[in-house]
Structure 1
């Protein structure tokens, strides 16, 4: 059992015991120990975080789960549970509906969706105290950041996240308003109320009013003066609103620069395109502009510059929380640039990073091609004829000493050093045959024949291995090819060895299981062989056999034909044609 599996089982036990903190720790260790990303482990840890009410962490794990396994319905249940815990009912509803798309019988998804929809109905029935419109302002956060009274508060990411939640659930603020004093400050800033003035009147107007009515206008809330004081903050609020408009204008201008850059890119005016993409980035921080600039640099052949630009895009994208698909594109383009620079290892590294962010078929193909190219490159660098010869002689010595495993290792080294030398494959086949690894030996002989079709020894070794695994028909085919090649290139030097193997293959091919086998049993057994069946169904052979029954001498005439001779020999070996005394 792997350590990852052990941690997983321990985590399951802790979860059952409701020790959720311990379960989180154990599932985390299982994730670290896993050789490959495991969606189940992220799902389990998400469930633990939800039980601990740590819904942000639960959502992160749930999203990782569905990224690894997009077709696993249970992962979307985890997303739905975390979103529900965060009060994001619409997102929770989408997640549960996605789970039901994948698995219509998913009870957990049905229950979760029902709970979400009930909460949505309750939320709609609750009054939002007029806060819905206020918190739906898309520029709310920026306004608060630019307001001197709330700018410091906006440095707290948890508070910013809470305000974002009010956008979908404004009723929740009525529950938090009196427990979090910061919300009072924010509400006052949004409504244009000066809390400092209000605090002074509350503290001082009651005791001071009867004693000093002259001071009353400055201390009380009953005169007309506070109305004018309420207007002052409203005038101050115009400044951040104007800044917000400027930002939107900058974004629009940036998009115009990008569009111009795209036109120039298509016209292959890359220098000018780069200028426009750079201006777009200066106007508005969107890493798409950096990705586009890098594309132009890539087309110019400035691959190292493109890598620098894309590295910056990734770093800035992390800070800006850019869409993971855009970051994936940055990584993929870094991989492309390194491929052009000839650094395949770096190229592979960044393709893998891209796929970690977002799985894309095109990038996956590039990764596989780069891995193949690197493997081929490394193999070519390893080629060395002199060292190949050293390995061959070493293998020969091991073989002579009956040290078959080391002989295999030595011949494998020879093959790596000289992959086009047929002798390496043939010699390794001989050693593998000694180790009874006949299928591997046949494969090596095929490689040897592929490298050198006239290498007779490879044919002979292949046929021997085929006989060993009872592939008799295949062995005979190999021996026929060997005989033809031997006659063509060696004047039949290996004819005797080939004939001996041929007889062996034929005799074992149709060896009867019972010495008292009847002709009918012989015929039935032989007809199970595909070649014999084909011969017996051949109309020409049927005619020849019929003639032989009436005139045995006619068979001798027909056997002058090499093809007929071969078929007759096969039938004799099968016992269908019997020779000698009866």
Structure 2
């Protein structure tokens, strides 16, 4: 990783830590996600994001990050602490206890693991100790968990909602009598997943590059559930005429009649300007027409409308991703990476993660190639030689490093640095450079000479 990207990772991590300290959990998750996109093998970033996800009551995602932490760094006790904590919040106490014990094998004196194990074991009161018997609404930290979730935080402001929670705390069997969607959403939060979103997830077309959304989605999320819904129409019910125009636009899109599709999407927007899907679909059409500037502009409008009207985060992520792909088509890879990372901060779509990884590698390779300059390489080599003659081997190595970056196919540079490494007693690195030397120019006997010398010295110094 380049020093510039490493600095970005450290800065994003620090910003995430600050957000976590101030209980801005979603911002913390966003910053850690952006850092992970730059450094996907950094176990600390996954651990930190797992902590933030746990605080945000997104327990299944927290568990996934904890598993990734352990996968990357299996000898790090904190990864087991993160996983055990997530499992406890999911009421999977037997698994949690097992995980805490695994962590204690690595660090027997770890207080967090000990406390976690004690807590998990105390909750194992089900048949044969396999599952806890309990009421999820009676959890001692229920209010803290509901405050941490953006949806339920708003619900807590409504007196009738608080009353229902109190009733369920006293009598969980009364759950069957509640048909209020807020309670269904609350149960999902307490169990660690979004029940409201499952159907939408299943219907998402994950193979589509730019296909307009087919399903009708509410343009807003209403917090007015305390009203009598049988006597009034909710404010977030989709405008039927707008939906009809959208369907006509979708049909035109399928026939590749893009101009007609745009006409219908514009009519839908006019009828219901708060629905993000109409602009998302319009942006998809522009993408297919290769009008990438218009695609980006329309996607930006969709993002702003979505945020203003509290649209589903996956729809916002889709708009960000489409803008990112449009920037890729324009070969503006830096802007593309920025938008795609923003998309991942809204929703971790595996397809977008793969695109980000490939794009990041391409950007780094482009930067490497752009940096090549044989003339500047020669200048750095000359400085390295001067320092080598003076016996200042650390500075000599520094300039040979620069020379190699500027001209990585010059075998002589690796020969010079190999000589420098032998003076610094870094024999493994010297061997590596000598090997590279021979790979680039196997006919030059001078490089083979260094190979023999390094092996001989290594034999005499290492036991």
Fold shared by both chains (TM-score > 0.5): yes
Match of 1:324 in 2: 313
Q: Distance in 2 between matches of 1:42 and 1:256?
A: 41
Match of 1:122 in 2: 171
Match of 1:262 in 2: 250
Matches within 5 A, 1:134-533: 161=223, 164=225, 166=226, 250-251=239-240, 253-284=241-272, 285-470=274-459
Match of 2:217 in 1: none
**Higher normalized contact order (CA 8 Å, seq sep 6+, divided by chain length):** 2
CA contact (8 A) 1:432 1:441 kept: yes
TM-align CA RMSD:
4.5
Aligned length: 323
Q: Distance in 2 between matches of 1:126 and 1:369?
A: 48
* Secondary structure class of the residue paired with 1:322: coil
Q: Distance in 2 between matches of 1:267 and 1:101?
A: 55
Match of 1:42 in 2: 52
Shift of 1:69: 4.1
CA contact (8 A) 2:87 2:95 kept: no
Shift of 1:436: 0.9
Is the alpha carbon distance of 1:100 and 1:346 closer, same or farther for their aligned partners in structure 2, counting shifts above 3 Å?
A: farther
Is the alpha carbon distance of 1:273 and 1:454 closer, same or farther for their aligned partners in structure 2, counting shifts above 3 Å?
A: farther
CA contact (8 A) 1:31 1:41 kept: no
Larger radius of gyration: 1
Q: Distance in 2 between matches of 1:123 and 1:114?
A: 6
Shift of 1:120: 7.2
Shift of 1:136: 8.2
CA contact (8 A) 2:87 2:96 kept: no
Is the alpha carbon distance of 1:346 and 1:62 closer, same or farther for their aligned partners in structure 2, counting shifts above 3 Å?
A: same
CA contact (8 A) 1:270 1:300 kept: yes
Is the alpha carbon distance of 1:288 and 1:100 closer, same or farther for their aligned partners in structure 2, counting shifts above 3 Å?
A: farther
Query: So what's the TM-score if we normalise by structure 1?
Result: 0.47
CA contact (8 A) 1:254 1:281 kept: yes
Deviations 1:179-207 (A, max 9, x none): xxxxxxx78xx99xxxxxxxxxxxxxxxx
Q: Distance in 1 between matches of 2:415 and 2:176?
A: 86
Is the alpha carbon distance of 1:402 and 1:299 closer, same or farther for their aligned partners in structure 2, counting shifts above 3 Å?
A: same
CA contact (8 A) 1:335 1:347 kept: yes
Is the alpha carbon distance of 1:332 and 1:28 closer, same or farther for their aligned partners in structure 2, counting shifts above 3 Å?
A: closer
Is the alpha carbon distance of 1:466 and 1:350 closer, same or farther for their aligned partners in structure 2, counting shifts above 3 Å?
A: farther
Shift of 1:280: 2.9
CA contact (8 A) 2:51 2:62 kept: no
Is the alpha carbon distance of 1:455 and 1:287 closer, same or farther for their aligned partners in structure 2, counting shifts above 3 Å?
A: farther
CA contact (8 A) 1:62 1:76 kept: no
Q: Distance in 2 between matches of 1:127 and 1:69?
A: 29
Deviations 1:279-333 (A, max 9, x none): 3333344322222221221222222221111111111111222222222122212
CA contact (8 A) 1:429 1:440 kept: yes
Deviations 1:55-102 (A, max 9, x none): xxxxxx223x65454464644765xxxxxxxxxxxxxxxx65xx5697
CA contact (8 A) 2:137 2:168 kept: yes
Q: Distance in 2 between matches of 1:345 and 1:353?
A: 13
Higher helix proportion: 1
* Secondary structure class of the residue paired with 2:171: helix
Q: Distance in 1 between matches of 2:280 and 2:331?
A: 21
Shift of 1:111: 5.6
Gaps of 5+ in 2: 1-9, 14-19, 36-44, 67-82, 99-119, 125-130, 139-166, 183-221
Q: Distance in 2 between matches of 1:322 and 1:388?
A: 53
Q: Distance in 1 between matches of 2:328 and 2:443?
A: 40
Is the alpha carbon distance of 1:392 and 1:326 closer, same or farther for their aligned partners in structure 2, counting shifts above 3 Å?
A: same
Deviations 1:372-417 (A, max 9, x none): 1111111222221211111121111111111111111111111111
Shift of 1:31: 6.0
Q: Distance in 2 between matches of 1:466 and 1:255?
A: 75
Q: Distance in 2 between matches of 1:314 and 1:126?
A: 37
Is the alpha carbon distance of 1:256 and 1:455 closer, same or farther for their aligned partners in structure 2, counting shifts above 3 Å?
A: farther
Deviations 1:452-496 (A, max 9, x none): 2323322222232233333xxxxxxxxxxxxxxxxxxxxxxxxxx
Match of 1:174 in 2: none
